[in-house]
Each structure stands twice: as structure tokens, then as C-alpha cells.
Structure 1
Amino acid sequence: MEETTAFVVFKFKEVNYSSILAASHLNTSTSMPVTSTSLGDFEYNEFIRRWFEFSFMICLSLIGSVGNVHTILVYVRVKDMHERFHVRTLVTWLSVVDLITCLVVMPFETVTIRLNHSMTSNALCKLARYIGHTTITSSWLILTVIAHERYRKIYSTLLGTYSGPCSCRKLISWMRLKSTSFKHRLICTLVIISSLLISIPIFVIIGIEQVEIKSTLLNGTQCTTLKQYRSILSAGLYSGMIGMFGLLCFIYCAYRYWKILQLIHKQYEKEKRRKADCSEMKHNAEEEQPFNSGCCNIGRYKVTVSLIIATGLSFCSFILFTIGIAIVMSDSPLKNHTSNAVLMRSLFINNAFNPVSYFIFDDKFRCACRKLYMKQK
């Protein structure tokens, strides 16, 4: 009787232990039970792992939204800023483009971090990515136009020359009859249309793709490049062309701003020599007047300095994004690391921090911000 009872108990334990192993899906490589998880639990764990990336995007969206709204209001409502008609329209359009990025594109990218494997709307995926590519391309082009306008304006003011093209004389004559604001609105409109056309392939190569989560037995859906377009001749070629286009824009901006800085430096050296001459002739008060006037002229270029900083910031964010893309394409161990995820999001830095550069490096912009809140026009 006791032997029978012992045999039954042993058999029950064996069957029970076998059922536990079967339910837990024993992993033969680690000899540890792997419990099954739902898609929601997996996404939540991924969200916890990517909390820094999520917080980074939230901060960029908030800073960019507040900053670009202030920039638009300052240039539209404060009369002191109307004197900057050579950059007023361009900076306003640039801020509108950056604001769209901060209010539409960044929130969508933030949602994809939280619901990385649960995106189901193909139309929303395509539209958000299309808007993102359009605004980023428009930002590059407007920064390039600003660099050209600054170069043309400063050279024509300081040297008395016009650095414009010699061809298409009828078009140039017609443009010269128009106001600067009209010219810039026309140019920005053409920039937006060009960016919309350049970004059309996004509707084809981007969409909702079903993916298999390797660490689990689950399947999810992502807003990403479709499998049939992940070759070098399709998405790779398009990305390379966009990257080369952006690099050419920044090279042109660097050349123009370098020429501007050279000219400003020459003017600054002339003013220093004039100051030295004035200090030797203190007894003659009339000789001090030219130097004081020259100092005021040098101070007017602070808006150009702030725009140079904004362009440099855009270029740095472009380089960081390129590094992130290179890490992903090379299938490096850092591919899924948090630092690389931040590099991939760094393309949005300039959209958020352009107004910050205006506020830090431009005294007149800071004064206009105070007047905006004090209701002083």
C-alpha cells in the first residue's frame, strides 16, 4: 500500500513538473523559463528602455513651439523689428516651418516611441513622414536663401556693389520693381512648393510594415520603410540624394557667411585704426564722430551672427543624424543603443533651437521680446 502511494505521488510530481516546463517554454540556450508576454507589455518595456529618447523629443517639441511662436509674434507685432525688412519675411517663414515641425512632426515621432509596434494607420504614417521631410527640406532651403540675402545685402551696403546674376534681365528688372517683402514671400512660396515636390517619394517608400519581434513570438506593425524599397537603388538612392542636397546647401551657406565674416572683420579693423587716430586727436571733438558711427554699423550685424549660429546648429544636427544613419546601415552593436536613438532624432534640434540662438546672440530681438510682453510697439 505504501509503495503504491509513493509511486502515485512520484508520478504526479513528474507530470506536474513536465506541464510547468511546457507552459514556461524552456529556453535550451539559457536553461531558464521564458514567460510569454503581450504586445502591450513588450511596448511598455521598450518605452521604459527608451525613456531618455522620449523625454528628449518632448523637450524639443516644447522649446521649439514656444520659441517659434515668440519669433513670429516679435517680427509681426513689434514695430522695431519692421526695420529688418531684409530678413523679416524670411525669418518669419522659417519660424512657421519650424513651428509646424514642432507641433506636428515631433509629436508623431514621440508617439512612435511609445507605440513602436502598434502603428496601424497607413495614411497617418505617410502624411506625418511626408510633412517631416517637407519641413526639414524647406528649413534647409530657407536658411540657404537667408545666407545669400545676407551676403548680397551686406556687400551692397558696405562696398556699394550688387552681387546678383547677369542673366534673365527681364525677370531681374521686374523683381527690382517689387518690394523686398514681396520678393521674399515669392521665394519662400517657391521653396515650399519645391520641398513638397521633392518629398513625394515618401508616399511610396514609407508605410505600415508588419514586423516580427525577434526576442518574442509576437508580431507588430511599424511606420517604416517598406521591405520592397529597402535596397540601395530605391530608398538608399533617394536618401543619398537628399543628403547630398542638404550638404550642398550647407556648403553654400558656409561660403557666403565666410565672405561676410571676412568683410565684417575688415570693417572692424578699419574702425580700430580710426579709433586709434581719434585717440591721438582728442582735442578735436569732430574727429570722434566717424568712429561712433562706425560702431553702430558693426552692431547691426548681430542679427547676421545669430543667423550664422542657427545655420551652424542646423549643420551640426545634420551631421549627427548622418552618423546615426551610418550606425544603423552598418548594423553596428550600437544600432539599438539609446545614444544612437538620440542621434537619429538630432535632425530636429535646429527646428527647436533656432529661436534660442536669436534670443542669445541678438540684443534687439531680446528687447523686442520685452516690448511684446509690455505691449510696447
Structure 2
Amino acid sequence: MENMSAATMDAELLRLNDAKAELMTPVVAFLSVLMSCGVLGNVMVCCFYGSRARRSSHGTFISTVAMYDLIICGLSIPMEIVDLRLFYTFTNVAACKAGRFINHFGAIGSVHVLLVIAVDRYRRICKPVKKQLSLKQAKIACACSLLVSVFFSWPSILFYTPVAVDVKNDFGLNITGHDCTTTRDTSFNMYISVFNYVYMTCFISYTFVLCVMYTLVGRVIVKHNKTRKSLIKKQESSTSKLTSLETSLSNGDQNISSSIPGKYRKIDADRLKNTQTRPRTRTISTTTDRRKSTLSETQEIKNLNFSVIMLTITGLFVLSFLPFLVLSIWRAVNGEYEPDVLSDAKLVAFQFGLRSYFLNSALNPFVYGVLNSKFRSFVYRCFCGCSSKIDNLHAPSTSDAS
């Protein structure tokens, strides 16, 4: 009888688990799309910016962020999908601990690099005359992000484990399932509270610093754009006036020239020829100055464009983490098992919100594609180049000349 009862409970547990897994299909589909787009996109980012990491701090920063995003999309999201499919039957201790560690590692490393980038952007845009972050210092800062991530993530290995939970059912059976969450061991309660408090405090502090720095950077960018537009308008106005003046003078010279006798006109032509053969020192100097000014302006535009990209990435990071932060606070305050207190629709929404931070890692490559024309061209060449090669392989051959 006991064996029959145990077999019945196991069968009922599997049935309830399958029902919950089917309920979570929208969340699994959402995560699958993010995983596919994120892995492909971040591989492209690593290939494009990784080759530039040796030459500029910009490439170093972006390739490091892409590395963390690739870890999240390639390892964390698949673990989350498994967690949702095994809603009541997650019993693998190693997989539970590894999945939660990778989640924390990727998120902490990414936000640390974003903070360093914000400091770099602030110094380059708001204090351009001061000493800037060198390529070597940028690489050291990115390497330090690995150590910071490990330091803040290792407690998750201790705190997360498959925990026994009571599963409600229609038969009133005492069914026990397992969920990958923080341990229920009371001896860990104080440490888990400190762990969560430190994470919340760090996230709020980092978000505040990022918002303040990029607000200052944004003000300078807006001011620069206004000044640039006004200068372009003035330059266009001056060019228009100069063109009309040259046209007027040219017409006047033709009228005067037609009224001058032929022999005097010949003398003026000889003088003009001699004038044209003189050294053009002033012209060369002016051209050099213009070239230097153009190079300086090009570098400034690159700095501003990179700042806009990183401002967008940071904004996306903050917005994607907000639902997760709010729901994590609610979960800590509530303290009950969510399936017991939430309806099916609310539980699905809750699972969506708990994984909202994956949006940041998956959508970052699309931000680069929209705001960086060179990266967009690189992706286009990769895909269209491959497709054209395949078409050429399958195309019928005609002649060597063709």
C-alpha cells in the first residue's frame, strides 16, 4: 500500500510538473528567442569589437560587456529554461548552484564594466583636457571586473540549492517537490539577508551613479549638438553670401575687361600669370590647419557617438533590471511560495518579471547595430557574403571569362 501510495504521488507530481511546464510555455518561448538572438548577436559583437580591443579602450569595453552577455545568453538562459521545465522536480544540486552563480557573475561583471565606461565617458566628454583612461588601464579595469564578479557571486554557491516544497493538488495528497531557490536552513537566514541587502544596495548605488554621470554627459552632448547646428547654419549663410559676391565680382570683371584696350589687357594677363607662379605658403598652411581641425572634429564626433551608444546600453540595463528588483523585494517581504499565493496568469507574469534582466544581454547587440553603421555593415557583409558564396556554389558554371 505504501509503494502504491508512493507511486501514485510520484505520478501526480510528474503530472503537476508537466502542467506547470505547459503553463510556462510563453516564458520558455520568450527566453528561447532571447537566447538565440543574444548568442548570435554577442558573437558578432565579440568578433567585430574584439579586433579593435588592441587599438582602443572603446573596443576593450564593448567586447568585455559582450563577453558577459554571451555567458548569460549561452549558459544562464538555458539553465533558466531547464528550471522552468522542471518546475517541481529540480533535484540536481550542482546544476542549481552553477546556474545561480553564473547569473550573478554575468550581471555583476556587466554592471561593473558599465560603471567604468560611465567614468571614462564623463572624463572624456565633460573634462576633455584632463588625463584620460589609457588602453592599458581600460584592460586592467576589465580584468578587475572578473575578480569583482567572482567575489560577489561566490556566496550564491552556498545559498542556492534544490529546496523541498509542498505541492498543492486536487487529491489532498502530501506531495513534495523541489525548487531551485535559497536554502530554508535557518542558520543561513542572517547571511542570506545580508547577501540580498548588499546586492540591493549595490544595484541602487550603481544605478544612481550611472544616472548622474550620464545626465551630465547628456547635457554636454545636447549643448554640443546645438552649437554645431548653429555653426553649420552660419557657415552655410557665409558660403551663400561669398558665392553671390564672387558671382557679382566675376560679372563686374568681365564688364571692365571688355572695356579695356587689348594691349593693356595683355599686360594684366601677364601680371596674373606671374602672381599664380608665386609660392603658395599661405594656402598650404591653411590646408594643414583645416586638416587638423577636421581630424579633431572627427575624433570628437566618434567620442560623442560612443557616448550615445553607452548611454543607451546603460538605460536599457537599468530598465531591464527594475522589474527583477521590484519582484525580488516583494518575494523577500512576502516569504511565501509563489505558486501557492498567485493565480496562473499572475504566476506567468511573475516569472516573466523575474527574468526581465535577460533583455539587457540579448538586446545590446541590436543597440550597436542601430547606432553603429560600421558594425551594421560588418553584420551585413557576414550574412550576405555567406549567402552569396552559397549561391555561387550552387549556381551553374558558364565560362572562365564570365
Q: Relative to structure 1, is the Cα distance of residues 334 and 309 closer, same or farther in structure 2, using a 3 angstrom cutoff?
A: farther
1:204 paired with 2:207, answer no
Which AA in structure 1 matches 2:130?
T
Q: Structure 2 matches for 1:1-377, cutoff 5 A?
A: 37-77=11-51, 85-157=56-128, 160-162=129-131, 180-215=134-169, 216-228=173-185, 233-282=190-239, 283-284=241-242, 296=298, 299-300=301-302, 301-331=304-334, 334=342, 337-373=347-383, 374=385
The aligned length equals 322
> Where do 5+ consecutive residues of structure 1 fail to align?
1-22, 24-34, 165-175
Which digits, 9 at most, give the CA deviation of each residue in 1:108-130, with x for residues without a partner? 11001001222222122112211
User: Partners in 2 of 1:320 and 1:365 — Cα distance?
Assistant: 30
User: What corresponds to 2:282 in structure 1?
Assistant: none
Point out the structure with max Rg over C-alpha: 2
Q: Relative to structure 1, is the Cα distance of residues 298 and 371 closer, same or farther in structure 2, using a 3 angstrom cutoff?
A: farther
SS at match of 1:56: helix
Which AA in structure 2 matches 1:188?
C
RMSD: 3.1
Which digits, 9 at most, give the CA deviation of each residue in 1:95-148, with x for residues without a partner? 011101111111011001001222222122112211211111111111111111
Deviates more, 1:36-45 or 1:289-298: 289-298
Which AA in structure 2 matches 1:256?
M
Q: Relative to structure 1, is the Cα distance of residues 339 and 41 closer, same or farther in structure 2, using a 3 angstrom cutoff?
A: same
Is the contact made by 2:320 and 2:356 (CA closer than 8 Å) also made in structure 1?
A: yes
Please report how far the alpha carbon of residue 226 of structure 1 lies from its aligned counterpart in structure 2 after TM superposition: 0.7
Which AA in structure 2 matches 1:203?
I
Which AA in structure 2 matches 1:262?
R
Please report how far the alpha carbon of residue 369 of structure 1 lies from its aligned counterpart in structure 2 after TM superposition: 2.4
Is the contact made by 1:74 and 1:372 (CA closer than 8 Å) also made in structure 2?
A: no
SS at match of 1:281: helix
Is the contact made by 1:229 and 1:235 (CA closer than 8 Å) also made in structure 2?
A: no
Q: Given the two structures, how large is their TM-score scaled by the length of structure 2?
A: 0.72
Is the contact made by 1:307 and 1:358 (CA closer than 8 Å) also made in structure 2?
A: no
SS at match of 1:119: coil
User: Partners in 2 of 1:218 and 1:65 — Cα distance?
Assistant: 38
Q: Given the two structures, how large is their TM-score scaled by the length of structure 1?
A: 0.76
Q: Relative to structure 1, is the Cα distance of residues 82 and 203 closer, same or farther in structure 2, using a 3 angstrom cutoff?
A: closer
Q: Relative to structure 1, is the Cα distance of residues 258 and 190 closer, same or farther in structure 2, using a 3 angstrom cutoff?
A: same
Aligned-pair identity in percent equals: 21
Q: Relative to structure 1, is the Cα distance of residues 219 and 263 closer, same or farther in structure 2, using a 3 angstrom cutoff?
A: same
User: Partners in 2 of 1:307 and 1:319 — Cα distance?
Assistant: 18
Q: Relative to structure 1, is the Cα distance of residues 337 and 117 closer, same or farther in structure 2, using a 3 angstrom cutoff?
A: closer
User: Partners in 1 of 2:106 and 2:305 — Cα distance?
Assistant: 26
Is the contact made by 1:318 and 1:346 (CA closer than 8 Å) also made in structure 2?
A: yes
User: Partners in 2 of 1:328 and 1:320 — Cα distance?
Assistant: 12
Q: Relative to structure 1, is the Cα distance of residues 363 and 52 closer, same or farther in structure 2, using a 3 angstrom cutoff?
A: same
Q: Relative to structure 1, is the Cα distance of residues 184 and 229 closer, same or farther in structure 2, using a 3 angstrom cutoff?
A: farther
User: Partners in 2 of 1:112 and 1:191 — Cα distance?
Assistant: 28
User: Partners in 2 of 1:229 and 1:146 — Cα distance?
Assistant: 40
Which digits, 9 at most, give the CA deviation of each residue in 1:330-374, with x for residues without a partner? 548547521111000102111111111111222232123234454
Is the contact made by 1:318 and 1:347 (CA closer than 8 Å) also made in structure 2?
A: yes
Please report how far the alpha carbon of residue 44 of structure 1 lies from its aligned counterpart in structure 2 after TM superposition: 0.6
Is the contact made by 1:327 and 1:334 (CA closer than 8 Å) also made in structure 2?
A: no
